[in-house]
């Protein structure tokens, strides 16, 4: 009965979020600068889907029986049980404020835990609205706790806290390392880290070029580049390189930059001032290192934190912009003829390949050191598909069945009869 009640409360929360989707999208758009249409479809839409998906897992968390001690007669029964961890803390960034909350919180609650979540200081509003909706959905008091505040104070306290047994984090690699250390020193709490990325996107000359241009654009400019799986570096095969660049630049010129609440806007303002300043500096470094700035590269000449969709070509492996993540609308292009260095990065979050040759695509996907590989598509995350990085992009998965294990502990029971 308890599990059925859990499912019911979860579904009621998803319904309430859907009923409030326009209000949530408006708040998210104002708070994060995401264009309203995208906020409605992705930021809020996928958050609702995430709660619906994990509602279905509440009563399906199960262990297994394991044959042990093969000697006959076997008088053993060994089985595993999956148990909730207890009090879990979650710390999230500002790029998809509600969606990052949903990805982690839904799995955490479906696994039977309670949660204390710290949203990013610059984008706490939808998390607070969410808290209100959990009360309306009749989550028991104390199960969902939203605790806004700074990372150095609230986030640090949660990592250090002796009663917290699990910390789920999404954010930068730099802070992820600090959190891992604090979790170890305090009480060896379980930790999962979704960190930065510099995802390679490889476009071969035998691709569907129209689609590669369209998806290449969204791989970089989606949510004004504030997207953890944004393609951080595009490798374009030499024979189509110039055409690809020309077509991308033509498309950028058609993009409507402006008020995110205007339904016809394609490209909204960056999340906050410090981030905008970082992007200006990033492009200055690119120019200084003699990458070829083909388009954009500066703040848009209008009030607000708008940054021009930008394209750099002739980017070499050693350059700052080839190595570091921008987290902004900046396309970094390197040409290749034979052999490329898509794995020459410390990150391993996502990757992409465009080619009509499926054997080549599968071969490359096997070689890519990344937690996600998109073939002839990009940004296609789904609530049922596990998401998370390799290397310094962290470890642990959000979404899909795998996400539950991040918030469960496995008990092994052996009976001799
Ligand atoms: P960040 O600086 O690492 O901050 C993330 C969160 O950690 C914020 O809530 C922040 O609080 C908090 N924090 C800061 N110091 C802390 C500490 N000592 N202890 C505990 N928490 C602390 O990241 P960001 O600059 O906000 O976000 C951009 C980064 O996130 C990018 O690198 C991007 O790749 C990554 N990201 C990754 C994914 C993914 O799924 N892999 C998704 C989205 C973003 P404040 O509110 O004080 O900043
Ligand atoms: Mg930060």
DSSP string, 76-96: EEEEEEEEE-SEEEEE--SSS
- Give the closest ligand to the alpha carbon of residue 397: 1
Instruction: State the alpha helices, DSSP H only, in 20-94.
Output: 21-32, 36-38, 45-55
Ligand 1, CB cutoff 6 Å, lining residues = 91-95, 118, 120-121, 150-152, 155-156, 159, 170-172, 175, 178-179, 194-197, 228, 325, 327, 349, 389
Strand intervals (E) in 225-378 = 231-237, 292-295, 310-313, 330-336, 350-354, 372-375
Confidence of residue 15 (pLDDT cuts 50, 70, 90): very high
Q: Where are the domains of the chain?
A: 2-195+393-416, 199-375
CB 123 within 8 A of CB 101: no
Whole-number Å distance, alpha carbon 89 to ligand 2 midpoint, is 18
Residue 218 has pLDDT above 90, yes or no: yes
- Three-class SS of residue 15? helix
CATH architecture type of domain 199-375: 3-Layer(aba) Sandwich (3.40)
From CA 117, how far away is CA 105, in angstroms rounded?
Answer: 8
Confidence of residue 75 (pLDDT cuts 50, 70, 90): confident
From CA 328, how far away is CA 331, in angstroms rounded?
Answer: 9
For residue 28, indicate whether it is catalytic: no
Which residue has a Cα nearest atom 36 of ligand 1? 171
- Three-class SS of residue 125? helix
Q: What is the pLDDT of residues 249-273, one digit of tens each?
A: 999 999 999 999 999 999 999 999 9
pTM for the model stands at 0.97
Residue with tokens 């598909």: 385
- Give the closest ligand to the alpha carbon of residue 151: 1
Whole-number Å distance, alpha carbon 59 to ligand 1 midpoint, is 32
Catalytic member of 18, 23, 194, 416: 194
From CA 231, how far away is CA 227, in angstroms rounded?
Answer: 9
- Give the closest ligand to the alpha carbon of residue 169: 1
CATH code, 2-195+393-416: 3.40.605.10
Question: What number is the average pLDDT over the span 160-186?
Answer: 98
pLDDT at residue 72, rounded to an integer: 75
Instruction: State the alpha helices, DSSP H only, in 206-351.
Output: 209-221, 238-254, 273-288, 320-323
Confidence of residue 1 (pLDDT cuts 50, 70, 90): low
Q: What is the pLDDT of residues 137-154, one digit of tens each?
A: 999 999 999 999 999 999
Which residue has a Cα nearest atom 38 of ligand 1? 228
Whole-number Å distance, alpha carbon 91 to ligand 2 midpoint, is 12
């Amino acid at each position: 009965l308890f599990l059925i009640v859990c499912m019911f409360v979860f579904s009621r929360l998803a319904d309430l979020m859907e009923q409030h989707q326009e209000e949530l999208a408006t708040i998210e758009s104002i708070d994060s600068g995401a264009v309203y249409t995208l906020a409605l479809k992705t930021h809020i839409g996928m958050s609702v889907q995430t709660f619906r998906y994990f509602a279905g897992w509440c009563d399906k968390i199960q262990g297994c029986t394991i044959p042990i001690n093969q000697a006959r007669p076997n008088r053993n029964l060994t089985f595993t049980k999956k148990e909730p961890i207890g009090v879990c803390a979650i710390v999230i960034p500002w790029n998809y404020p509600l969606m990052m909350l949903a990805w982690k919180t839904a799995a955490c609650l479906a696994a039977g835990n309670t949660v204390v979540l710290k949203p990013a200081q610059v984008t706490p509003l939808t998390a607070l609205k969410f808290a209100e909706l959990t009360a309306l959905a009749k989550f028991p008091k104390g199960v969902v706790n939203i605790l806004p505040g700074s990372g150095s104070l609230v986030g640090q306290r949660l990592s250090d806290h002796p009663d917290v047994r699990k910390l789920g984090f999404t954010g930068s690699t730099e802070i992820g390392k600090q959190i891992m250390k604090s979790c170890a020193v305090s009480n060896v709490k379980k930790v999962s880290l979704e960190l930065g990325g510099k995802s390679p996107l490889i476009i071969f000359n035998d691709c569907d070029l129209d689609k590669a241009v369209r998806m290449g654009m969204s791989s970089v400019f989606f949510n004004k580049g504030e997207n953890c799986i944004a393609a951080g570096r595009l490798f374009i095969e030499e024979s189509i390189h110039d055409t690809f660049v020309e077509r991308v630049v033509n498309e950028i010129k058609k993009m409507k930059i402006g008020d995110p609440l205007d339904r016809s806007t394609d490209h909204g303002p960056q999340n906050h001032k410090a981030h905008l300043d970082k992007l200006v500096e990033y492009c200055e470094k690119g120019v200084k290192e003699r990458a070829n700035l083909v388009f954009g590269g500066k703040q848009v000449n209008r009030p607000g934190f708008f940054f021009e969709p930008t394209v750099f070509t002739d980017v070499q492996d050693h350059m700052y912009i080839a190595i570091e993540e921008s987290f902004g609308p900046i396309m970094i292009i390197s040409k290749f003829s034979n052999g490329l260095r898509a794995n020459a990065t410390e990150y391993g979050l996502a990757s992409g390949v465009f080619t009509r040759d499926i054997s080549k695509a599968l071969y490359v996907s096997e070689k890519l050191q990344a937690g996600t590989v998109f073939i002839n598509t990009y940004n296609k995350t789904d609530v049922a598909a596990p998401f998370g990085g390799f290397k310094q992009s962290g470890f642990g998965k959000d979404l899909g069945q795998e996400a539950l294990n991040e918030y469960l502990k496995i008990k092994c029971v052996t009976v001799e009869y």
